[in-house]
Amino acid sequence: MNSLLEQFLSEARDFLQGIGEKLMQLESDPTSTPLMTELFRFVHTLKGNSGLFDFPEMTRVLHASEDLMDAVRNGRVGYSQKLADELLEAMDFVGVLMDEIEAEGEIGKNHATTATELAQALRSLISDSKVSTPVAEQVSIDSFSEDGPAVKAISWDELPTLNLAETVAIELYRCAINGDAVFWIEYTPEPECFFKGEDPFFLARQVPDNAWRNAILNNTASSLVEMDVFSSQLVFQFLTSAPAEELDDLFRYVPDQIHRIEIPALAFVKPIGNTDESVIDDDFINNTLLLLENDDLDGVARTIKTMLELSAPELWSSSALRWVLQLIELEPQNKAAQRLLLESLRTLTPPDWSTLTHSVQINSITTNPVISVDISEFPETLLRDFHTVINAQREILSLPANTSGEWSVGRLKSVAVSLIGCYRAINQAHEVEAIDAALQNALAENSPTPLLTWLESALTNVPELTVTEEDPQIATIFPVATQNEVKFGRRVEDTTAAATASKTLKVDQDKIDRLMNLIGEMVVAKNALPYLANRAETVFGVRDLAREIKAQYAVINRVAEEMQDTIMQVRMMPVSFIFQRFPRMVRDISRKLGKEVELVLEGETTEADKNIIEALSDPLIHIVRNSLDHGLEQPDVRLAAGKNAAGKLLIRASQESDRVLIEIIDDGKGINPDVIKHKAYEKGLIDEATLERISDQDAVNLVFAAGFSTADVISDLSGRGVGMDVVRSAVEKVNGTVGIESEVGKGTRLYLSLPLSMAVTNVMIIQSNQQIFGVPMDIVVETVRVPSIHIQRIKQKQTTVLRGRIVPLLSLNDLLASNVAQLPNEDNEFATLIVRVHGEHVGILVDEFRETVDIILKPMTGILGGLAGYSGAALLGDGSVLMVLNPRELI
Partner 1 sequence: MAIEFKKNLAVFSDFVGVEEAEALLEWLLKNPKGKINLADCTHIHASNLQVLMAVKPTIAAQSKDEDLQLWLSTLLN
Contact positions vs partner 1 (CB under 8 A):
189, 194, 199-202, 204-205, 213-215, 217, 219, 224-225, 227, 229-230, 232-234
Q: What's the closest the beta carbon of residue 221 comes to partner 1, in angstroms?
A: 9
**Which lies closer to partner 1 via its Cβ, residue 68 or residue 207?**
207
**Which lies closer to partner 1 via its Cβ, residue 33 or residue 202?**
202
Q: Are 888 and 871 in contact (CB under 8 A)?
A: no
Beta bridge partners, 883, equal: 773, 873
**Which lies closer to partner 1 via its Cβ, residue 234 or residue 563?**
234
Q: What's the closest the beta carbon of residue 257 comes to partner 1, in angstroms?
A: 13
Given the DSSP bridges, would you call strands 647-656 and 597-602 parallel, antiparallel or unpaired?
Answer: parallel
Residue 866 phi, psi (nearest 5)? -80, -10
**Which lies closer to partner 1 via its Cβ, residue 156 or residue 194?**
194
Closest by CA position to 289, among listed 363, 355, 341: 341
Half-sphere exposure of residue 65: CA atoms within 13 angstroms, side-chain side: 33
Q: What's the closest the beta carbon of residue 166 comes to partner 1, in angstroms?
A: 17
CA distance 873 to 883: 5
Q: What's the closest the beta carbon of residue 593 comes to partner 1, in angstroms?
A: 23
Q: What's the closest the beta carbon of residue 214 comes to partner 1, in angstroms?
A: 7
Alpha helices in 2-110 (DSSP H): 3-28, 33-50, 56-73, 81-104
Q: What's the closest the beta carbon of residue 646 comes to partner 1, in angstroms?
A: 15
Q: Are 244 and 147 in contact (CB under 8 A)?
A: yes
**Which lies closer to partner 1 via its Cβ, residue 241 or residue 735?**
241
**Which lies closer to partner 1 via its Cβ, residue 195 or residue 540?**
195
What is the CA angle 123-127-128, rounded to 5? 115
CB burial class (10 A; 0-12, 13-18, 19+) of residue 696? Answer: middle
**Which lies closer to partner 1 via its Cβ, residue 229 or residue 539?**
229
CA distance 471 to 479: 14
Long-range contact pairs involving 475-478 (C-beta distance under 8 Å, separation at least 24) = 476/146, 477/146, 477/381, 477/382, 477/385, 478/385, 478/389, 478/421, 478/425
Q: What's the closest the beta carbon of residue 235 comes to partner 1, in angstroms?
A: 10
Q: What's the closest the beta carbon of residue 272 comes to partner 1, in angstroms?
A: 18
Q: What's the closest the beta carbon of residue 192 comes to partner 1, in angstroms?
A: 12
Q: What's the closest the beta carbon of residue 228 comes to partner 1, in angstroms?
A: 10
**Which lies closer to partner 1 via its Cβ, residue 173 or residue 187?**
187
Residue 865 phi, psi (nearest 5)? -60, -20
Q: What single letter denotes the amino acid at residue 272?
A: I
Q: What single letter denotes the amino acid at residue 244?
A: A
**Which lies closer to partner 1 via its Cβ, residue 197 or residue 379?**
197
DSSP helix/strand/coil, 647: strand
**Which lies closer to partner 1 via its Cβ, residue 160 or residue 869?**
160
The string of DSSP letters for 559-627 reads HHHHHHHHHHHHHEEETHHHHTTHHHHHHHHHHHHT--EEEEEE-TT-EEEHHHHHHHHHHHHHHHHHI
**Which lies closer to partner 1 via its Cβ, residue 223 or residue 372?**
223
Q: What's the closest the beta carbon of residue 301 comes to partner 1, in angstroms?
A: 35
What is the CA angle 694-799-802, rounded to 5? 115
DSSP helix/strand/coil, 366: coil
Q: What's the closest the beta carbon of residue 584 comes to partner 1, in angstroms?
A: 23
Q: What's the closest the beta carbon of residue 175 comes to partner 1, in angstroms?
A: 20
**Which lies closer to partner 1 via its Cβ, residue 201 or residue 540?**
201
Q: What's the closest the beta carbon of residue 219 comes to partner 1, in angstroms?
A: 5
Q: What's the closest the beta carbon of residue 834 comes to partner 1, in angstroms?
A: 54
Q: Are 785 and 826 in contact (CB under 8 A)?
A: no
**Which lies closer to partner 1 via its Cβ, residue 204 or residue 536?**
204
In the structure, how many helices (H) and strands (E) does the chain have? 33, 22
Given the DSSP bridges, would you call strands 258-263 and 210-217 parallel, antiparallel or unpaired?
Answer: unpaired
DSSP helix/strand/coil, 196: helix
Gap between the terminal Cα atoms of the chain: 46
Closest by CA position to 707, among listed 729, 689, 740, 731: 729
**Which lies closer to partner 1 via its Cβ, residue 237 or residue 527?**
237
Sheet harboring 881-885: ordered strands across?
848-855, 761-768, 771-776, 881-885, 870-875
Q: What's the closest the beta carbon of residue 207 comes to partner 1, in angstroms?
A: 11
Q: What's the closest the beta carbon of residue 203 comes to partner 1, in angstroms?
A: 9
**Which lies closer to partner 1 via its Cβ, residue 232 or residue 366?**
232
CA distance 630 to 625: 8
**Which lies closer to partner 1 via its Cβ, residue 227 or residue 515?**
227
Beta bridge partners, 217, equal: 234
Closest by CA position to 448, among listed 404, 480, 409, 418: 409
Q: Which residues contact 634 (CB under 8 A, 6 or more apart)?
A: 593, 594, 595
**Which lies closer to partner 1 via its Cβ, residue 200 or residue 479?**
200
Q: What's the closest the beta carbon of residue 217 comes to partner 1, in angstroms?
A: 4
Buried b / exposed e across 567-603, counting CB within 10 Å, b at 16+? bbeebbbbbbbbbeebeeebeebbeeeebebebebeb
**Which lies closer to partner 1 via its Cβ, residue 202 or residue 827?**
202
* Continuous segment of H or E residues that includes residue 492: helix 489-501
